Amino acid sequence: MSAENATKRDIRALDLQALKAFFAQHNQQAFRANQVYQWLWQKGAHHFDEMTNLSKSTRELLDTHFVINHIAVDRQQRSSDQTIKNAIRLHDGLTVESVLIPTETRSTACVSSQVGCSLDCTFCATSQLKRMRNLNPDEIYDQVMALDRQSQLYFGRPLSNIVFMGMGEPLMNYKNVIAAVERITEGLGLSPKRITISTSGIPKMIEKLADENPRFQLAVSLHSAREKVRNQIMPFSTSFDLETLQKSLQYWYQLTRSKITFEYLIWKGINDTQQDIEALVAYCKRVPSKVNIIEYNPTDFGDFEGADQKVIEAYKMALERARITVTVRRSRGKDIDAACGQLANKLIPLES
């Protein structure tokens, strides 16, 4: 970024009313604000020169006062299963990763919400990185727009789903994530029901989210319904015990009538016993929920090994007997480290 641009405000930090105020201050008609807003949040413009229905003088006015700090796809990797991982360069040189996961009929965007992570889950590569900063709403929006373009280019269809399961803890960047969801639904016309916010379980923030009565889905990385085991693999959870988490999830369901999805990894020697299975079934009975068992993806951190297939099947059968919906998800993009828990960068600032 040039020294001149560094002193300008990013125009995407302004809402529509602030844009209208800016144009009024400069003796411009109010409808110009609507045009600019459409360029920013529906068409994903990266430069003022792209705003072709504005006069040259209006574009110069915007360029004098503002900048658009858009992201850049610095590197793109494509898996043998067609999954695409992007290394995203931010305006300050830091990087995050996002993933496009295609199936025969759907394209799902997995996006990041923080540079690094605020939490300390021992099995996740991202958690080994220091949290550098939260992402702004426009930086999250840009990830989605980049993945939407790739989906249309490579698979001939727009995005069908968005999951906040990339780098970072979304509820530790609450305000910006909520703002990003609003921009995404406006810009892409995607139903909020096709958006999932995945959290490691911050009860206070789950309740705050429920109070806003959102229309998107909630997923919780649970991985154990036994306190001691969960504290071992997710040390931050010592501050948020399972009972407190349970109450916040019951509150969520009471206000939204939307079931929670429990994301659940199973490891050999950690949570692969009958006691672990029974604890999960009992927990799910107390919280209106469904379970998504995820294949474990090895990282360079921690001594974890995926459980035997017979254990996974035992979990599945026990949940089904209790009439709890369960799916077993096979990971995508493992050969390019794009699978769940593998997203990580060295976060070395890149040259502009």
Q: Give domain limits for the chain.
A: 3-67, 72-336
What does the block give as tokens for 230?
Answer: 């969960």
Q: Residue 242 has what DSSP assignment?
A: H
Distance CA 193, CA 214 (A): 9
- Tens digits of residue pLDDT in 111-137: 999 998 877 777 776 666 777 899 999
pLDDT at 187: 87
Once rounded to an integer, what is the mean pLDDT over residues 316-324?
Answer: 98
Once rounded to an integer, what is the mean pLDDT over residues 219-240?
Answer: 94
Distance CA 102, CA 109 (A): 9
Q: What angle do CA 125, 238, 330 make, to 5 degrees?
A: 40
Distance CA 167, CA 116 (A): 6
pLDDT at 119: 77
Tell me the H-state helices in the chain: 3-6, 16-25, 31-41, 56-65, 137-155, 174-188, 203-211, 227-233, 242-256, 274-286, 309-321
Once rounded to an integer, what is the mean pLDDT over residues 6-14?
Answer: 91
pLDDT at 5: 64
Which residue numbers are catalytic? Answer: 97, 340
CA 96 and chain centroid, separation: 11
72-336 folds as TIM Barrel (3.20.20)
Q: What angle do CA 110, 113, 119 make, to 5 degrees?
A: 110
pTM: 0.90
**Which residues lie across from 98 on neighbouring strands?**
86
Pairing relation of β-strands 107-110 and 95-102?
antiparallel
Percentage of the chain beyond pLDDT 90 is: 79
Once rounded to an integer, what is the mean pLDDT over residues 16-27?
Answer: 96
Reported confidence tier of residue 339, pLDDT bands at 50, 70, 90: very low
Asked which of 185-194, 301-310, 337-346 is least confident by mean pLDDT, the reply is 337-346
Percentage of the chain beyond pLDDT 70 is: 89
Distance CA 95, CA 145 (A): 17
- Does pLDDT of 301 surpass 70? no
pLDDT at 116: 85
Q: Evaluate whether 297 touches 326 at the Cβ level (below 8 Å).
A: no
pLDDT at 124: 73
Once rounded to an integer, what is the mean pLDDT over residues 267-279?
Answer: 97
Q: Residue 323 has what DSSP assignment?
A: T
pLDDT at 129: 73
pLDDT at 143: 97
Distance CA 38, CA 45 (A): 9
Class of domain 3-67: mainly alpha
